[in-house]
């Protein structure tokens, strides 16, 4: 696909967002206003700016990275307008900020290249650990920066600017820093991790010393789980690492070990934390616990059930009955109003992004680039699976965001930077 075709698809995605907002306005019996043009302009400005930056500083990058992300963002903006117009306006501002930061990243990588960032892997580890600990700052006090607990998890950082406050989830940046650290670490030790394993019955297991990095990252994930009480970030961090080590070695045994360790950590969280226990109850018995833990999941299922094939129509359903519909349950809200067709479009968008990401990783000859591209794709895929799987009751709810769709500025920034990294890697390792 040419860059011209890519730009046309980005404009079409902006049109989808504007058309969705138009339907929301008409369904509410309101008169046509500036929100339609503003939504279109913001989409064109955000994705157009990133598109032009890629043309200028990564011209050989894949042309299939931005369009699916633009489609997901377009559907999201329309649905968030439906659920909360004030939040929709804030989301548009964050979209512009995310695009600006991605342009800055592309410029930096154009000047330095990805080979440069490999050198600072331990700095990424240190920075990531500091960012993980920042939400543990006291919620009150004289400091302009403080932590904030939401829904039982301590994930948020609040920065007081005097005239306003900015809330941010450091974890969205931490996941990128950890991928860069792990890619550098595994690229250096790939040969050792792939050494001849020990045979134990029908299974082949790595040497105990080779399991040290697996256990170490699992321990860090447990610290995140215990200190921040956040099951989602813990599973995402450890799952991405296991995916990366599997990519580096080709040994499915690591997947088995990772599954066992993840299950044991999940069981421990279920026994230790009340809010995790509630999420497990909502997963297993949502309708039996309708008045309590299962209310959110049950309402989401009722809504998706009424959506049928084509949906109730954007602006005509009742996704507002689902608690936190704009964040945790944006997929259910879209499935209700756009039906199976809309939910399938979301799945197709993520499938395309994941396929492109792994395709970039497969083409890479450089170990660090290969593992970075694979790690970023594992993060994106696992995050989408955990939240959509939670809504569909395939896995317990974890409370993480759906990339490019859930309301939240930190999520948008993190995922746009992820796209920028993938674009640069695909430029340096063209097809």
Read off the pLDDT of residues 253-289 as tens digits, 9 standing for 90 and up. Answer: 778 888 888 888 778 777 877 777 777 877 888 888 7
Domain of 299?
A: 116-428
Q: Is 88 or 1 the better-scoring residue by pLDDT?
A: 88
Q: Is residue 111 part of a domain?
A: no
Would residue 25 count as lying in a domain? Answer: no
Distance CA 295, CA 10 (A): 38
Confidence tier at 54 by pLDDT (50, 70, 90): very high
Give the dihedral sign, CA 314/317/318/324: negative
Averaged over 308-333, what is the pLDDT?
89
Q: Is residue 17, in this structure, part of any structural domain at all?
A: no
The H or E element containing residue 18 is: helix 3-27
- For residue 70, being part of any structural domain is answered with no
Q: Render pLDDT for 191-217 as a digit per residue (tens, 0 to 9).
A: 666 665 666 555 555 666 665 666 677
pLDDT of residue 126 exceeding 80, the answer is yes
**pLDDT digit string, tens, across residues 376-421:** 999 999 999 999 998 998 888 877 889 999 998 899 999 999 999 9
Structure tokens at 365: 């000859």
Structural domains in the chain (count): 1
Q: Kindly tell me if the per-residue pLDDT of 130 is higher than 90.
A: no
For residue 309, is pLDDT > 60?
Answer: yes
* Residue 41 or residue 311, greater confidence: 41
pLDDT-based confidence at 227, cuts 50/70/90?
A: low
**Between 252 and 4, residue with greater pLDDT:** 4
Residue 196: what pLDDT? 59
Average pLDDT, the chain: 86
Buried b (16+ CB within 10 A) or exposed e, 386-401: bbbbbbbeebbbbbbb
Nearest to 315 by CA among 38, 122, 106, 78: 78
Please give the full DSSP string across 228-266, using - where no structure is assigned.
H--HHHHHHHHHHHHHHHHHHH--THHHHHHHHHHHHHH
In this prediction, residue 107 has a pLDDT band, given cuts at 50, 70 and 90, of: very high
Nearest to 428, CA basis, from 365, 383, 378: 365
3-state helix, strand, coil in the chain (%, to 5): 70, 5, 25
The answer to whether position 300 is within a domain reads yes
Task: Give the C-alpha separation, 237 to 270, whole Å.
Answer: 18
As a whole number of angstroms, the distance between CA 115 and CA 117 comes to 6
Beta-sheet strands, E only, within 269-370 = none
Q: Which band of pLDDT confidence, cut at 50, 70 and 90, is reported for residue 346?
A: very high
Residue 292 lies in a domain: yes
42-52 pLDDT, tens digit per residue, is 999 999 999 99
Q: How far, in Å, CA of 197 to CA of 193, rounded?
A: 9
- Cα(267)–Cα(260) distance, integer angstroms: 11
Between residues 32 and 226, the one the model is more confident about: 32
Identify which of 157, 107, 113 has the alpha carbon closest to the alpha carbon of residue 136. Answer: 157
Phi first, then psi, for residue 155 (nearest 5°) are -115, -15
- How many whole angstroms separate alpha carbon 62 and alpha carbon 60? 7
User: Six-digit token pair at 247?
Assistant: 């990519």
In this structure, is residue 213 part of a structural domain?
A: yes
Q: Is 74 inside any structural domain? A: no
Contacts of 305 (CB under 8 A, 6+ apart): none
Mean pLDDT of 114-133: 85
């Amino acid at each position: 696909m040419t860059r011209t075709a890519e730009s046309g698809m980005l404009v079409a995605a902006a049109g989808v967002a504007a058309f969705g907002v138009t339907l929301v306005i008409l369904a509410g019996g309101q008169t046509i206003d500036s929100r339609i043009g503003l939504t279109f302009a913001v989409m064109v400005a955000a994705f157009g700016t990133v598109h032009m930056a890629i043309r200028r500083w990564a011209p050989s990058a894949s042309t299939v990275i931005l369009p699916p992300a633009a489609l997901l963002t377009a559907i999201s903006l329309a649905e968030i307008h439906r659920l909360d117009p004030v939040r929709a306006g804030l989301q548009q501002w964050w979209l512009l900020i995310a695009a600006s930061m991605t342009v800055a990243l592309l410029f930096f990588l154009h000047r330095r290249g990805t080979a440069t960032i490999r050198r600072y892997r331990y700095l990424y580890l240190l920075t990531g650990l500091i960012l993980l600990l920042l939400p543990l700052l006291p919620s009150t006090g004289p400091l302009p920066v403080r932590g904030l607990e939401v829904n039982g998890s301590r994930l948020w950082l609040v920065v007081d600017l005097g005239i306003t406050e900015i809330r941010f989830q450091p974890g969205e940046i931490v996941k990128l820093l950890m991928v860069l650290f792990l890619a550098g670490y595994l690229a250096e030790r790939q040969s050792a991790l792939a050494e001849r394993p020990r045979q134990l019955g029908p299974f082949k297991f790595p040497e105990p010393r080779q399991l040290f990095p697996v256990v170490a990252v699992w321990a860090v994930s447990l610290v995140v789980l215990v200190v921040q009480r956040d099951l989602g970030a813990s599973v995402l961090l450890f799952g991405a690492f296991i995916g990366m080590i599997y990519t580096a070695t080709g040994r499915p045994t690591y997947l088995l070990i990772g599954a066992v360790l993840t299950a044991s950590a999940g069981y421990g969280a279920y026994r230790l934390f009340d809010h995790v226990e509630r999420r497990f109850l909502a997963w297993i018995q949502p309708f039996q616990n309708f008045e309590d833990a299962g209310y959110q999941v049950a309402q989401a299922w009722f809504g998706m059930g009424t959506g049928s094939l084509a949906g109730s129509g954007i602006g005509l359903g009742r996704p507002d009955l689902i608690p936190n519909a704009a964040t945790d349950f944006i997929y259910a809200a879209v499935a209700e109003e756009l039906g199976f067709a809309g939910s399938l479009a979301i799945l197709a968008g993520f499938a395309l992004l994941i396929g492109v990401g792994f395709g970039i990783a497969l083409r890479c000859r450089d170990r660090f680039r290969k593992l970075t591209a694979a790690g970023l794709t594992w993060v994106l895929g696992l995050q989408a699976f955990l939240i959509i799987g939670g809504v569909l009751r395939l896995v317990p709810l974890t409370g993480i965001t759906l990339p490019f769709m859930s309301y939240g500025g930190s999520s948008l920034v993190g995922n746009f930077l992820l796209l920028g990294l993938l674009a640069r890697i695909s430029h340096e390792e063209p097809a």
